[in-house]
């Protein structure tokens, strides 16, 4: 019995042992099979990548080692399954393998900062344990897989900085435990799904830089009590700014920049007591800045730039003790700047740019912003002197005070700003120190060794540049003093500024020669010295600045040849040497293929245009007017396909206009007037669909004027002074005889030889009769003629008038005349005033006044070559330009003096008045009383339409 019991017990123990052994033998088999699945999935993932030979995954991800030891792979300790795949910034290229869905224990997938492309695989939905997916900063495309909604454990989705498209899948509403959704900087569109605002666990919502439209629901915070970061910038979101943000008590950062949000900033925004960043720039918000913002004690950044905010700057904002960035630029804020805002100890950036702020900034002591790095107050109406406390901001790198009304001298204490990189004082009313004309503040700035940009033009310095400018920072890149009444010479020490790439001293009163030392500025790209009084030659040393791309020396007194070496400046894009006394054009200039602007007008340049001008393939604006150029226009000009404006007027160019000029398809403006061009006007010009202005006047052109294309918009002014042209009556030309027969040769012979003979005989007979009558009359008229009211003066021809006045020579006004000569001259000049009826009128003074008006505003005389024996008189020339083309007859210098936008209507009114004064019949002319009334009205209209604040002389 005992033995049987023992045997039974032993049998049970053996069975249990066998069961144990069998279970132990089964577990490794199962583990091996599942581990193999993860390994195969990882190797399949690797196979989709393009890896360089020395890439960490190339030699590390091999079967010779456990995959749990591979780079970027983490496994669970007990099961040895892949739980994390962490390969950020591994320079991995390729696609995401669908086999990644076999890593069924994967909880974290981080592949950010690589070059992965293609679509995200739908198999990501198999990763039921996935909590974090971060694929930020790749090149992934296509839609967001809706299968991600199957990953119920997901807490973080970061797919920012890719090229994903389409809408946010509605299926993601199932992820009710989601804490962070980052989809910024993609190509996603549609409205923001409302379910996102119902995920109560959401802490971070980042949808910036997409194409989401629609509005932000006013109930955004109703179910988002834990929301901390709200990033919706750079979308076309519209609608009203949400007013119920107080329920998002955890909000720390609000980024809503660059949308179309309207409405006002809620007055109770201080309910967000944890708010640190408020960026609402570039919307259409209105109203004022709520003073309650001053209660946000944790606020470090407020950016309300580029809205339509009004009102004053609340004093409460000076309580923001933690503020580092403060910007309300580009609004309509008015009033004074609270001075204590400059004393905030934490502030690093302050910008009030482009508002309507006014008043001065008090000169307060004790203000010393220790961290202020950038101060921008430009484009306001600030007055007074530059406050001295700015010099206490020892960390300041940018000081921008341009376009205000600051007065006085520039404080020399600015030299204390040793870290200063940019100083912009342009467009103020600053002057030099009254005790000396030298600009001493420039000497003080030599202590600012980090200075890169120095701009103080458009002031009233009326001072001299000190030699110490050569001691400014060798880091200086921009030196600009435009239009500031600078006197004296340009110091040769300017050549010490070795980093300078932009030098602008235009529109000053600088004299002397351009210093050769400028050639030491090897990095110089822009040289603007125009509108000064520089004389002498252009220094050859300029050619050492091989980086030069812009050379503007126009409106000086430079003489001599243009340097031959200028052709070596292959980066040159803009050359303007106009209005000097230069005497030759180097051949190398025609090889500057990067040149798009060339102006050599108003010099003394002689010679012919070479075929090489066809090499200027990039030229868009080409001006050679008012020189001494001769010869023909080369046919190679047709190579200049980019040409928009061409002006060769006022030269002695001859021959024909090239037929292929019609190949200049971009041409908008063409002026070849006042030359000796002959032949016909090329019909190819009809192809130029963009041509809006054409001037071929005063040449020797012949034949029919084209009528199609742009010629439909031209007037007689474009062709005046070409006696042999014919064409449409609107051009005021004779009608062309296009259908002559061969037998018309006999008629031509008759006209050529017989008619002149007959005409000569008739003229001779008329002269004889006039001479006989004159002798008879001379006997009857007493030696002294006493003029009375009833005496009608002798009729005098126009050409007698020309002879008596020596072509209306200005010397007449200086001649000494006796009483008889003065009397005769009076009647000669008034012969013009009698009009076609040839009788004296009390309205002769009106006629004289009308002619005087035309002469004053056109700078032309009735005796000018273009009118004597021409097709049009001065009056007809002016009349042809009205009402829409008055600027084509008004003197160009007068146009530059008038106010933009005010000149057209006023000038047209004056010319209309002049025409009414000079009508042929005295009875049709207006009286001087009406003239005065009309001029008074024109002046009133001009005053009403000119810009406010203009100081244009009337």
Distance between CA atoms of 810 and 324, rounded to whole angstroms?
71
Q: So what's the pLDDT on residue 760? A: 52
304-313 pLDDT per residue, tens: 999 999 999 9
Q: How confident is the model at residue 17 (pLDDT cuts 50, 70, 90)?
A: very low
Helices 844-858 and 903-917, axial angle in degrees (round to 10): 150
Q: Is the pLDDT of residue 838 over 80?
A: no
Q: Is the pLDDT of residue 883 over 80?
A: no
Q: So what's the pLDDT on residue 39? A: 95
Q: Is the pLDDT of residue 866 over 80?
A: no
Helices 928-945 and 903-917, axial angle in degrees (round to 10): 180
Start-to-end CA distance of the chain, whole Å, equals 141
Distance between CA atoms of 886 and 904, rounded to whole angstroms?
7
Residue 399's φ and ψ, nearest 5 degrees, are -125, 110
User: What is the three-class DSSP state of 295?
Assistant: helix
Q: Which residues contact 846 (CB under 8 A, 6 or more apart)?
A: 917, 925, 926, 927, 928, 931
Q: If you average pLDDT over each of 535-549, 843-857, 918-932, which comes out highest?
A: 535-549
C-alpha 522, offset from chain centre? 27
User: What is the three-class DSSP state of 45?
Assistant: helix
Q: So what's the pLDDT on residue 893? A: 60
Q: So what's the pLDDT on residue 28? A: 31
Q: So what's the pLDDT on residue 918? A: 87
Q: How confident is the model at residue 569 (pLDDT cuts 50, 70, 90)?
A: very high
- For the segment 872-885, the average pLDDT, to the nearest whole number, is 79
Helix, strand, coil proportions of the chain in percent (round to 5)?
A: 35, 15, 50
- Owner of token pair 């090329």: 682
Q: So what's the pLDDT on residue 9? A: 53
- For the segment 352-363, the average pLDDT, to the nearest whole number, is 94
- For the segment 105-122, the average pLDDT, to the nearest whole number, is 97
- For the segment 6-21, the average pLDDT, to the nearest whole number, is 46
Q: Is the pLDDT of residue 358 over 90?
A: yes
Distance between CA atoms of 886 and 896, rounded to whole angstroms?
14
Q: So what's the pLDDT on residue 363? A: 82
| pLDDT top residue among 514 and 366 | 514
Q: Is the pLDDT of residue 861 over 70?
A: yes
Least-confidence region, from 22-31, 85-94, 551-560, 588-597: 22-31
Is 0.85 topped by the overall pTM? no
Q: 930-939 in b/e burial notation, b at 16+ Cβ within 10 A? A: ebeebeeebe
Q: How confident is the model at residue 99 (pLDDT cuts 50, 70, 90)?
A: very high
- For the segment 923-945, the average pLDDT, to the nearest whole number, is 77
Q: So what's the pLDDT on residue 748? A: 45
- HSE-up of 832 (CA within 13 Å, CB side)? 26
Q: Is the pLDDT of residue 887 over 90?
A: no
Distance between CA atoms of 851 and 870, rounded to whole angstroms?
18
764-791 pLDDT per residue, tens: 554 555 555 555 444 443 333 333 333 3
Q: So what's the pLDDT on residue 11? A: 52
328-347 pLDDT per residue, tens: 999 999 999 999 999 999 99
Q: Is the pLDDT of residue 132 over 70?
A: yes
Tokens of 936: 């008074």
Per-chain mean pLDDT for the chain = 85
Tallying the residues shown for the chain, one arrives at 954
453-484 pLDDT per residue, tens: 999 999 999 999 999 999 999 999 999 999 99
Distance between CA atoms of 128 and 101, rounded to whole angstroms?
10
Q: Is the pLDDT of residue 537 over 70?
A: yes
- For the segment 400-429, the average pLDDT, to the nearest whole number, is 97
Q: So what's the pLDDT on residue 941? A: 73
Q: If you average pLDDT over each of 12-26, 678-692, 768-782, which comes out highest?
A: 678-692
CB 333 within 8 Å of CB 312: yes
């Amino acid at each position: 019995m005992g033995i049987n019991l023992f045997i039974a017990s032993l049998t049970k123990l053996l069975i249990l042992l066998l069961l144990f052994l069998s279970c132990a033998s089964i577990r490794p088999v199962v583990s091996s099979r599942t581990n193999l699945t993860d390994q195969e999935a990882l190797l399949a993932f690797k196979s989709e990548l393009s890896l360089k030979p020395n890439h960490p995954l190339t030699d590390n991800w091999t079967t010779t080692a456990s995959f749990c030891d591979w780079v970027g792979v983490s496994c669970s300790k007990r099961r040895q399954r892949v739980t994390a795949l962490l390969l950020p910034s591994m320079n991995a290229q390729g696609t995401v393998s669908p086999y990644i869905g076999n890593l069924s224990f994967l909880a974290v997938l981080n592949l950010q900062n690589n070059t992965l492309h293609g679509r995200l695989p739908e198999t990501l939905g198999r990763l039921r344990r996935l909590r974090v997916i971060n694929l930020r900063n790749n090149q992934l495309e296509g839609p967001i897989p809706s299968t991600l909604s199957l990953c119920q454990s997901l807490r973080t989705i970061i797919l920012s900085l890719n090229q994903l498209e389409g809408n946010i899948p509605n299926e993601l509403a199932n992820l009710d435990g989601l804490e962070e959704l980052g989809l910024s900087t993609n190509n996603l569109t549609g409205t923001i799904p409302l379910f996102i605002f119902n995920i109560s666990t959401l802490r971070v919502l980042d949808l910036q830089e997409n194409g989401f439209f629609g509005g932000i629901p006013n109930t955004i915070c109703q179910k988002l009590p834990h929301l901390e970061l709200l990033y919706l910038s750079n979308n076309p979101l519209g609608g009203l700014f949400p007013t119920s943000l107080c329920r998002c008590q955890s909000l720390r950062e609000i980024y809503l920049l660059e949308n179309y949000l309207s409405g006002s900033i809620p007055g109770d925004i201080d309910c967000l007591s944890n708010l640190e960043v408020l960026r609402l720039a570039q919307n259409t918000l209105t109203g004022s800045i709520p003073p309650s913002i001053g209660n946000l004690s944790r606020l470090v950044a407020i950016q309300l730039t580029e809205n339509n905010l009004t009102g004053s700057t609340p004093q409460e904002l000076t309580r923001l003790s933690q503020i580092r960035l403060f910007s309300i630029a580009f609004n309509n804020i008015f009033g004074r700047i609270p001075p204590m805002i400059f004393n905030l100890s934490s502030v690093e950036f302050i910008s009030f740019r482009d508002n309507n702020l006014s008043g001065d900034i008090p000169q307060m002591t004790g203000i010393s912003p220790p961290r202020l790095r950038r101060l921008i107050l430009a484009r306001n109406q600030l007055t007074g002197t530059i406050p001295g406390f700015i010099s206490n901001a020892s960390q300041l790198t940018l000081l921008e005070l341009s376009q205000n009304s600051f007065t006085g001298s520039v404080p020399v204490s600015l030299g204390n700003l040793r870290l200063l990189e940019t100083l912009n004082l342009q467009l103020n009313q600053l002057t030099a120190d009254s005790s000396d004309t030298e600009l001493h503040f420039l000497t003080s700035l030599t202590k600012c060794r980090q200075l890169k940009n120095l701009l103080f033009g458009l002031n009233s310095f009326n001072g001299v540049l000190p030699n110490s400018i050569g001691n400014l920072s060798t880091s200086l890149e921009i030196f600009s003093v435009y239009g500031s009444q600078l006197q004296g010479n340009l110091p040769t020490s300017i050549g010490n500024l070795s980093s300078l790439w932009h030098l602008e001293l235009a529109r000053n009163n600088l004299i002397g020669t351009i210093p050769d030392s400028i050639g030491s500025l090897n990095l110089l790209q822009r040289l603007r010295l125009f509108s000064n009084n520089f004389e002498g030659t252009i220094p050859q040393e300029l050619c050492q600045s091989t980086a030069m791309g812009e050379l503007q020396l126009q409106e000086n007194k430079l003489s001599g040849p243009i340097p031959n070496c200028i052709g070596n400046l292959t980066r040159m894009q803009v050359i303007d040497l106009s209005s000097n006394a230069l005497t030759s054009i180097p051949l190398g200039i025609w090889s500057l293929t990067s040149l798009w602007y060339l102006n050599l007008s108003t010099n003394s340049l002689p010679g012919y245009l070479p075929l090489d001008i066809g090499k200027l393939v990039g030229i868009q604006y080409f001006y050679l007017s008012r020189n001494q150029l001769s010869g023909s226009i080369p046919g190679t000009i047709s190579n200049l396909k980019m040409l928009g404006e061409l002006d060769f007027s006022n030269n002695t160019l001859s021959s024909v206009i090239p037929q292929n000029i019609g190949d200049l398809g971009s041409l908008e403006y063409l002026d070849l007037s006042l030359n000796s061009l002959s032949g016909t006007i090329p019909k190819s010009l009809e192809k130029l669909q963009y041509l809006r202005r054409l001037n071929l006047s005063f040449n020797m052109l012949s034949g029919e004027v084209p009528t199609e294309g742009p010629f439909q918009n031209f007037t007689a002014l474009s062709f005046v002074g070409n006696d042999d042209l014919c064409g449409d009556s609107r051009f005021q030309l004779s009608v062309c005889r296009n259908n002559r027969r061969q037998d018309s040769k006999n008629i031509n012979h008759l006209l050529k030889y017989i008619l002149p003979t007959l005409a000569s005989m008739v003229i001779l007979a008329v002269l004889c009769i006039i001479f006989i009558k004159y002798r008879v009359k001379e006997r009857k008229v007493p030696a002294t003629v006493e003029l009375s009211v009833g005496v009608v003066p002798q009729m005098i021809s126009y050409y007698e008038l020309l002879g008596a006045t020596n072509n209306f020579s200005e010397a007449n006004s200086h001649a000494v005349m006796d009483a008889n000569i003065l009397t005769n001259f009076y009647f000669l000049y008034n012969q013009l005033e009698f009009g076609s009826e040839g009788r004296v009128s009390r309205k002769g003074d009106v006629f004289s006044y009308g002619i005087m008006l035309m002469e004053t505003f056109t700078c032309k005389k009735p005796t000018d070559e273009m009118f004597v024996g021409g097709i049009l008189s001065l009056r007809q020339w002016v009349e042809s330009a009205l009402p829409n083309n008055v600027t084509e007859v008004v003197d160009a210098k007068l146009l530059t003096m008038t106010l933009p936008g005010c000149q057209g209507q006023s000038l047209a009114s004056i010319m209309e008045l002049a025409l009414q004064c000079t009508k042929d019949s005295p009875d049709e002319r207006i009286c001087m009383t009406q003239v005065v009334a009309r001029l008074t009205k024109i002046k009133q209209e001009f005053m009403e339409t000119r810009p406010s604040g203009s100081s244009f002389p009337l």
